[in-house]
Structure 1
Amino acid sequence: MGPGTTCPWKGSLSRLQVRTWIEPVVASNQVAASLYDAGLLLVVKASFGANTFSNNSSSSAPRGALEEQQQKAISNFYIVYHLVVGLTPLLSAYLLGWLSDRFHRKISICVSLLGFLLSRVGLLLKVLLDWPVEMLYGAAAVSGLCGGFSAFWSGVMALGSLHSSEGRRSVRLILIDLILGLAGFCGSMASGHLFQQMVGHSGQGLVLTVCSVSCAAFALFYSLFVLKVPESAAKSNQALAEVDAMSGISGTYRTLDPDRLDKPSMVGHQPSPGKGVPKKTILALLFVGAIIYDLAVVGTVEVMPLFVLREPLKWNQVQVGYGMAAGYTIFITSFLGVLVFSRCFLDTTMIMIGMVSFGSGALLLAFVKETYMFYIARAVMLFALIPITTIRSTMSKLIKGSSYGKVFVILQLSLALTGVVTSTVYNEIYQLTMEKFVGTCFALSSFLSFLAIVPISIVAYKQAWWLKYGDITEK
């Protein structure tokens, strides 16, 4: 062949390589999810608003009392809705992960995407046919029985791992998380404008829900007919897939994982084996810190949509979309924080930085009176994703590779059940305190976030002792 001759298979090989990228599925599904989340809130608000004001049109009840009834109705809806969303995936997520490991890697992704599509169609039917909002519980149950976000994200993490070398795996997975955050940001920014495209009770939200269904359908069809599983999958990746079988079960903010197993947190000598700090004690303290911090974060996330709809903020549809978009920016800032802080701080120090960041922002939220104050509080939370991420990374350095699945599944199940309980408790607290002090839930979250620093600080002390005197024992 001459020097100008090109390989006839180069183009097809390049196209095949592109078809192994999971990013298009992640981006399109997250745009659909962000549109759906905003649409769900606005549709439920409109439905309960119409019912509340029509039922009390002949009475002399003040407008403030009617708005309070609307807030309680929305809160009660979300209590049941989040229970359905949080509990139903527990029945199927692990099974789908097992099937993906044994038969085909795309099973968990495709089945969960089918559930997402059906739930988006459910919201579309609610808008078109003006069905009762209770039918959305059924749509959420269908999505959960198909694996929900738990099964979907475990499949995404497994494919991302198969498509990357061990040295580049952490960068690969973090970039997938960035795609998730950026797609959610774009969808949330557009959601309020799309919701207003059609006016009238029967048409409002139609354009938004159609766009959500379209993006979800694209993600499903792309995963079925375009996406290819990398053929060069080593047997060692099966263990990682088992670890990921239950990952992502408790929320989008827990998915950032730097996977820093192949590099130390701090430059220093490696202690020789010997008696030292009990390993199980440190693992238990990390579990306690993760659960307490999860209580704070999930509680804030659950109450925030209700908070922005009433006084003193009283946002419209566009402002709701912008507020949701602001939440996705922490994917970027936390990613940058991990990259910078990991070069000069111990893992425990990074965890405490993230907890202080979130706790300070939650405290500011409790006293928000104007929209600009809300965004200042959100900006203070810029490192809120770091703690759970780095806790997983720290655990991975304390246990053997053969124990990753057992320990991480226990952690994720603990966080999932914690999230379900927290959603119910916080919504009840919000209903009881919204007239006296609407920021009560945020103040409670701030207290819990700072409280979570206590077990992490003990771990930091033991870690410093270990670096100075010796190894960590198996006890």
Structure 2
Amino acid sequence: MGPETTCPCRGPLPRLHMRTWVEPIVASTQVAGSLFDAGLLLVVKASFGPGAGNSSNHSISPSPRGALEDQQQKAISNFYIIYNLVAGLSPLLSAYGLAWLSDRYHRKISVCVALLGILLCRLGLLFKVLWDWPVEVMYWATALNGLCGGFSAYWSGVIALGSLSSSEGRRSLRLIFIDLILGLAGFCGSMVSGHLFKQLSGHSGQGLVLTACSVSCAAFALFYSLVVLKVPESVATPSKTLPTMDTVSGTTGTYRTLDPDQPDKQSVVGRPLSPGKAKPQKTIIALLFAGAIIYDLAVVGTVEVMPLFVLREPLSWNQVQVGYGMAAGYIIFITSFLGVLVFSRCFQDTSMIMIGMVSFGLGALLLAFVKETYMFYIARVIMLFALIPVTTIRSAMSKLIKDSSYGKVFVVLQLSLTVTWVVTSTLYNELYQLTMEKFVGTCFALSSFLSFVAIIPIGIVAYKQDSWLKCADITEK
């Protein structure tokens, strides 16, 4: 086998283990994404600003500063409504097919094709800045990205690779570690985004350095995935004699029972489940899906409105402050990783999920009443465990399915979250336009409420787990 080294999340690994890591792809893609997100927001703001070609009506008739700001906010909001619809719906045509091909033929298919689409989208913003194309060209750029699978195919592929390379007991930690790398990369990209955007002065040059850096990082990620990345051998494949009780996750069931390509088979080892509990893991999967979708409604609503919120009064941030604010959002990747590292020693998955939901709900509630910049950052601090829920839900699901079905199950979850994102983005942008003059924090208050509602299905999962475990103990005795 050769000499071995260790990884903090996996233990002893073969000598060529570094080529199986997805972290370099995650890091470079996220740097490209954070630069792109900040660049797109600032480019769109400039396109709809006073004096811009498509906003000439602003300069013809003078208006109060507040009226101009409201018009610009509505124009930016309307752009993002269409942009998010295209970005969210276009992957529905290809993401599941790519996941199926990945499960059946090669694990890298969905990741590589999705990274190609990401690169094309980043090139679209570069060309818009370089040649001063209309901002509507970004609709076509994100459509190309979606037809290549978009984020749904990319992230489900990454999660599948991460799950293959980890044992059940360390799965939550492994997946949150990938999120940690994503967060650190996003933090670094966001911190420099505002400075890079201002590197070249002039209408045609502003943002050129930033978009070029974004394209370079996306190109590196695609190259790495094609040439360097190796698919890890599964360390989580169950034996033919799996016990029916999963003591790690605290849930009941076997891997086989949720494999879409195999008939339902009961393990011959261990005590059989009673007829009323023959498929309890399907109930758990459904409840986990419900919790993830409701929680995603809350998170997406906050994330989509936040860029608009910080650009207008009372905060009125400039380009550098926008970059710093986006960077602050990535701090939760670090704190969530540390949270899982500590909580996983003494709590079940469901308890960690609920802790994260409460953390986000309280932070969103404070965000609704932000009047000063320091209050914004306090709200961000309260959200320190907000990333734990969805990542831990993925981990819990992976413990109930066969590794040959990771791609399909994860992409179905990701597509469900994507559709949720599309609907939520549209509704929240419309709600923001209707309420920004009355109470600008309405969207954040609604997100806080939804975050606490999402605890209900997770609480039912925890209750069912405890009930099944108690019944199992009684049966043994």
TM normalised by structure 2 equals 0.82
Aligned with 2:134 (options 108, 112, 132) = 132
Cα 1:282–1:112 shift into 2, 3 Å: closer
> How far did residue 236 of structure 1 move?
4.6
> How far did residue 149 of structure 1 move?
1.5
Amino acid in structure 2 at the alignment position of 1:204: Q
Does the 8 Å CA contact 2:103/2:405 hold for their aligned counterparts? no
Write out per-residue CA displacement over residues 22-69 of structure 1, whole angstroms, 9 at most, x where no aligned residue. Answer: 322221111111100100000000111143763222313212111111
Q: Is the aligned partner of 1:307 residue 2:309?
A: yes
1:90 maps to 92
Secondary structure in 2 matching 1:198? coil
> How far did residue 345 of structure 1 move?
2.4
Cα 1:108–1:73 shift into 2, 3 Å: same
1:116 maps to 118
1:190 maps to 192
Secondary structure in 2 matching 1:202? coil
Does the 8 Å CA contact 1:326/1:375 hold for their aligned counterparts? yes
Does the 8 Å CA contact 2:287/2:458 hold for their aligned counterparts? yes
Aligned equivalents of 1:235, 1:177: Cα separation in 2: 20
> How far did residue 391 of structure 1 move?
3.2
2:248 maps to 263
Cα 1:393–1:114 shift into 2, 3 Å: closer
1:242 maps to none
1:350 maps to 352
Aligned equivalents of 2:202, 2:295: Cα separation in 1: 42
Cα 1:407–1:19 shift into 2, 3 Å: closer
Unaligned runs of 5+ in 1: 1-6, 8-12, 238-260
1:222 maps to 224
Identical positions, percent: 78
Secondary structure in 2 matching 1:321? helix
Does the 8 Å CA contact 2:249/2:399 hold for their aligned counterparts? no
> How far did residue 110 of structure 1 move?
2.0
1:255 maps to none
Does the 8 Å CA contact 2:103/2:407 hold for their aligned counterparts? no
Write out per-residue CA displacement over residues 64-106 of structure 1, whole angstroms, 9 at most, x where no aligned residue. Answer: 1111110000001101111111111111112222223333333
Aligned equivalents of 1:457, 1:173: Cα separation in 2: 22
Q: What is the alpha-carbon root mean square deviation over aligned residues?
A: 3.2
Aligned equivalents of 2:22, 2:447: Cα separation in 1: 35
Q: Is the aligned partner of 1:154 residue 2:156?
A: yes
Aligned length: 436
Write out per-residue CA displacement over residues 405-452 of structure 1, whole angstroms, 9 at most, x where no aligned residue. Answer: 776555443322222111100000000011111111001111111222
> How far did residue 393 of structure 1 move?
4.0
Aligned equivalents of 2:427, 2:92: Cα separation in 1: 20
Cα 1:53–1:400 shift into 2, 3 Å: closer
Does the 8 Å CA contact 1:357/1:380 hold for their aligned counterparts? yes
Secondary structure in 2 matching 1:388? helix
Q: Is the aligned partner of 1:206 residue 2:191?
A: no
Aligned equivalents of 1:106, 1:400: Cα separation in 2: 18
2:296 maps to 294
1:101 maps to 103
Residue pairs, 1:76-475, within 5 angstroms: 76-163=78-165, 171-230=173-232, 232=233, 236=237, 263-264=248-249, 273-274=273-274, 279=280, 282-395=284-397, 410-470=412-472
Aligned equivalents of 1:20, 1:409: Cα separation in 2: 21
Aligned equivalents of 1:18, 1:467: Cα separation in 2: 39
2:243 maps to none
Amino acid in structure 2 at the alignment position of 1:225: V
> How far did residue 16 of structure 1 move?
5.0
Amino acid in structure 2 at the alignment position of 1:373: M
TM normalised by structure 1 equals 0.83
Report which stretch shifted further, 68-77 or 398-407: 398-407
Unaligned runs of 5+ in 2: 3-12, 239-245, 252-269
Aligned with 2:63 (options 54, 57, 61) = 61
Does the 8 Å CA contact 1:341/1:350 hold for their aligned counterparts? yes
Aligned equivalents of 1:265, 1:336: Cα separation in 2: 22
Write out per-residue CA displacement over residues 189-232 of structure 1, whole angstroms, 9 at most, x where no aligned residue. Answer: 110110111112111111101111111112222222333445x5
Does the 8 Å CA contact 2:304/2:428 hold for their aligned counterparts? yes
Aligned equivalents of 2:425, 2:156: Cα separation in 1: 23
Amino acid in structure 2 at the alignment position of 1:31: V
Amino acid in structure 2 at the alignment position of 1:356: V
> How far did residue 127 of structure 1 move?
0.7
Cα 1:336–1:444 shift into 2, 3 Å: same
